[in-house]
């Protein structure tokens, strides 16, 4: 009788455990991320963009995200996410004649993703959405300092794996194009500075806590 009861209990709970497994990547989550980020700009002096110089600098990207995943089918996942990130370090724009200090600020990204479940715990996905990045520029100590907001898009791809029932880890590559419109400010330097193009590459790893 005892063995029959244990067998009946096992059969009754089996669908429940199966349902939990199939609910991976389904529902809300919050998480943290960190990794490598490279920013690239083209800049020059004056509104006419005299002697444009291309530059790039890298640093540690860090931040967090909040989002929601929905199992569209047994092996398809759609999701939405908002992320807030920052980056360490600063760089210098210039060609030896004009020099400006550029500091990367916060970036806000609102994106969606479409994923394919290679296994119930392994998700391959692509991502795309809106990006807004802030940076500050100055011509040296004690000079005027101007904040710049650039808007554009982000596209990327990644891999995420369930580590436990409510914890997952991911690695992701993202490319951002933050516009080619010219930004000009005459409060920095005698001729002002123009930043024309702005793009970004980033490779980040993160962890998500699911509810």
d(CA 158, CA 111): 13
Secondary structure class of 165 (helix, strand, coil):
coil
Token output for 177: 């194009």
Residue 175 · residue 201 · CB < 8 Å: yes
* The pLDDT value given to residue 10: 44
Q: CATH number of the domain at 38, please.
A: 2.40.160.20
Residues in the chain: 211
As a whole number, mean pLDDT of residues 77-98 equals 83
Q: What is the DSSP letter of 89?
A: -
Q: CB-based burial of residue 38 (10 Å sphere; 0-12 exposed, 13-18 middle, 19+ buried)?
A: middle
What are the pLDDT digits (tens) for 27-43?
Answer: 999 999 999 999 988 76
The tally of domains found in the chain comes to 1
Q: CA torsion 31→153→61→88, rounded to 10°?
A: -140
- What are 19's two structure tokens? 């349902």
**Lowest-pLDDT range, 46-55, 57-66, 100-109?**
46-55
- The span from the CA of 171 to the CA of 134, in Å, is 24
Q: Would you say residue 122 has pLDDT above 80?
A: yes
Range of the domain at 75: 2-210
Query: Among residues 158, 142, 149, which one has the least CA distance to residue 198?
Result: 149
């Amino acid at each position: 009788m005892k063995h029959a009861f244990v067998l009946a209990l096992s059969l009754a709970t089996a669908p429940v455990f199966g349902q939990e497994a199939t609910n991976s990547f389904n529902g809300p989550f919050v998480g943290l991320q960190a990794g490598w980020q490279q920013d690239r700009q083209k800049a020059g002096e004056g509104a006419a963009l005299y002697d444009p110089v291309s530059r790039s600098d890298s640093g540690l990207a860090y931040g967090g995200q909040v989002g929601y995943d929905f199992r569209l089918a047994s092996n398809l996942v759609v999701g939405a996410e908002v992320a807030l990130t920052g980056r360490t370090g600063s760089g210098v724009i210039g060609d030896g004649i004009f020099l400006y200090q550029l500091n990367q600020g916060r970036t806000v990204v609102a994106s969606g993703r479409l994923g394919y479940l290679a296994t119930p715990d392994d998700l391959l996905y692509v991502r795309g959405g809106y990006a807004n990045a802030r940076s500050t520029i100055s011509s040296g100590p004690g000079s005027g300092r101007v904040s710049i907001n650039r808007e554009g898009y982000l596209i990327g791809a990644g891999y995420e794996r369930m580590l436990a029932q409510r914890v997952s880890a991911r690695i992701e590559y993202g490319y951002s194009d933050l516009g080619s419109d010219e930004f000009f400010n005459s409060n920095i330097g005698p001729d002002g500075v123009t930043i024309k193009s702005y793009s970004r590459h980033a490779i980040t790893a993160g962890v998500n806590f699911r509810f």
